[in-house]
Structure 1
Amino acid sequence: MTTDLVQFLSGIDIFKKLDRTELSTVADSLRRISAAANEILFRQGDEGDELFIIAEGQVAVTVRLPSGDSFEVAQFGAGTFLGEMAIFDRSPRSASCVTKEASTLYSMSSRDFYSLVHDHPRAAIKIMYRMLEATTGRLTNSSKFLSDMVVWGEGARKRAITDDFTGLYNRRFLDDAIEDQTAQALAEGRPMSVLMFDLDHFHAINEAYGMEIGDHVIKSLVPVIRQTLRDTDLPARYGGDEFTVILPDTGPAEALEIAWKLVHGVSELTVLQEIDGPIDTVSTSVGVASLPGHGKTGSELKDRADEALYAAKSAGRNRAEVWKRADVGA
């Protein structure tokens, strides 16, 4: 068995520079492990004190995500090793390791490795040199993995707060952001305004042309919104053809100017003029509400902006209105 093990070890990367006598010494320090499928070898956070060499089978390395889920980083098969850093400083494991199938492994403890360093320093130096090379390569791959994870996480974050149809923020983001922005503005004594707007006669457009054209009209608003708003503004599709915009550091007069720019920009759209049908114009009505005079919470500002929006509808549409108490029930 020792001869077979020595032969096996000679093919393992970290032992390739050892002669047969040195390999035999290493073989004597190893402990054989038979593991069933799905057996946990170690958990993320456990104190590490063993190097593992896989003789047969397959093991997976996983990390725990902030969500609590496990994410598989890599798989290792026969002839590979893992956990090499643990035998140096007994630091907590940076990942978990579990067998994917019935596996046979050999382990070297930190204590046995330091005995090798003491008794056979030449062999230990060879092993450490190969470990350093292997670890450098793995750290390079880990850096790429972490970079990929950051990109993946950023993409997931964006997907969670973005409206797929328009690319603007979604209602979930808006509902959270408006409360945060309102509280911050009040605490710092800064102005803030909210716009709510939707398309005039959108139901009639859908009835005349169908929902596909209606969707096309909604999408045509996005360039107008982006061109009209500033980089600090937060536009969101609130649902259907309804949109909400948070305007930081903006009082009611300036917010009304921006609202009117939206009105004029939308009125210049020619998307329906390209289609033979009963409606050839696109217009919007916009409601404006501002801190601190129109409300003290994000929810109140949305309600006031919505009331001002309906006041704009009642006044003839294709216009912008700032909230007034008389708007309630308009």
Structure 2
Amino acid sequence: MTDIDKTQAVASSVLGVELEAAEAAALAGKMGVEQLKSGDLLVGEGESRRTLFMLAAGRISVCKVDGEEEQPIYQLRVGECAGTRAFLDGSERKAALRAEAESIVLTLEPADFESLVESHPWVVYKVMRALFRVTHSNLMRMNFESAEMRNYMMKTGGRY
């Protein structure tokens, strides 16, 4: 896979929704890059790595271990982030991230992000708002899926 323009990738991601060009460049300057081949494990379930991951190119699956097998439960779209909870509070990973194709992932470490507080406080504020939106949309999606499953099991709320 080829090099990527980190600033453009940040600007077109969920993190860059509110960022101006100079702000996206400041954030991109703090981010690392990981290139993955198909099948590579980016982070394992249960790891304590606090890195925030943003898919810049390719396909990454969010996976859970079910018995002895790893099962994909969600596929990240380009521009989406994974690991928001671990990034913010240091909790262990509740799922693994595995490349389904050659992929490029931008990474952000908490210390690098926090270093922006003095020089770019509005970037920190806007990114924290973006992380809240990501977490909120995940919660809403999970609530919807839970309701759909309940309706299916109880044979209510639709044609099952």
Provide TM-score, normalisation by structure 2.
Answer: 0.82
Match of 2:115 in 1: 115
Counterparts of 2:149 and 2:69 in 1: how far apart (Å)?
14
- Percent identical among aligned pairs is 22
Gaps of 5+ in 1: 155-330
Q: 1:46 to 1:151 in 2, by over 3 A?
A: farther
**Change over 3 Å in CA distance of 1:146–1:131 after alignment to 2:** same
Superposition deviation, residue 147 in structure 1: 5.8
Match status 1:127 vs 2:104: no
Of Structure 1 and Structure 2, the greater helix share is in: 1
> How far 1:151 sits from its partner (Å)?
8.5
Matches of 1:124 and 1:147 in 2, distance apart? 35
> What stretches of structure 2 of length at least 5 have no aligned partner?
154-160
How many residue pairs get aligned? The number is 152
Residue 136 of structure 2 corresponds to: 136
Judged with a 3 Å threshold, the aligned counterparts in structure 2 of structure 1 residues 116 and 85 are, in CA distance, closer, same or farther, namely farther
- With over 3 angstroms needed to count, the CA separation of the structure-2 counterparts of 1:15 and 1:99, relative to structure 1, is same
> Which whole-Å CA distance do the structure 2 matches of 1:146 and 1:21 have between them?
41
Which secondary structure does the structure 2 equivalent of 1:33 belong to? strand
Match in the other structure for 1:287? none
Measured after TM superposition, the shift of residue 87 of structure 1 is: 1.5
> Residue 133 of structure 2 aligns to which amino acid in structure 1?
E
The corresponding residue for 1:79 is 79
- State whether residues 59 and 100 of structure 1, in contact with CA within 8 Å, keep that contact through their aligned partners in structure 2: yes
Q: Is the 8 A contact 2:64 2:72 kept in 1?
A: yes
Q: Using the alignment, how far apart are the partners of 2:71 and 2:122 within structure 1?
A: 39
1:34, CA displacement in angstroms?
Answer: 0.8
Distance in 2 between the 1:143 and 1:69 partners? Answer: 26
Which amino acid letter does the alignment assign opposite residue 7 of structure 2? V
Residues 93-140 of structure 1: per-residue CA shift (max 9 Å, x gap): 111110001111110011111112343221101111111112101112
2-structure distance, mates of 1:30, 1:73? 26
Q: Distance in 1 between matches of 2:41 and 2:94?
A: 14
Shift of 1:8: 2.5
Q: Does 2:66 align with 1:98?
A: no
Once the two structures are superposed, the pairs formed by residues 313-328 of structure 1 within 5 Å of their partners are none
- Amino acid of the structure 1 residue aligned with 2:126: K
What amino acid maps onto 2:69 in structure 1? D
Contact 2:41 2:99 in 1 (8 A): yes
Kindly indicate whether the alpha-carbon contact (under 8 Å) linking 1:43 and 1:93 is maintained by their aligned counterparts in 2: yes
| Residue equivalent to 1:15 | 16
Aligned residue for 2:58? 57
Query: Which one-letter code corresponds to 1:11 in the other structure?
Result: S
Aligned mates of 2:18, 2:148 — CA distance in 1: 34
Partner of 1:45: 46
CA deviation after TM superposition for structure 1 residue 4, in Å:
3.3
User: Is the Cα contact below 8 Å between 1:9 and 1:23 reproduced in 2?
Assistant: yes
The whole-number CA distance in structure 2 between the counterparts of 1:118 and 1:53 is: 24
**CA positional deviation for 1:144:** 3.8
Match of 2:157 in 1: none
Deviation at 1:54, TM superposition (A): 1.3
Q: Deviations over 1:254-300 (max 9, x none)?
A: xxxxxxxxxxxxxxxxxxxxxxxxxxxxxxxxxxxxxxxxxxxxxxx
Per-residue deviation, 1:150 = 7.7
Give 1 or 2 for the bigger CA radius of gyration.
1
Deviation at 1:148, TM superposition (A): 6.2
Q: TM-score with structure 1 length normalisation?
A: 0.42
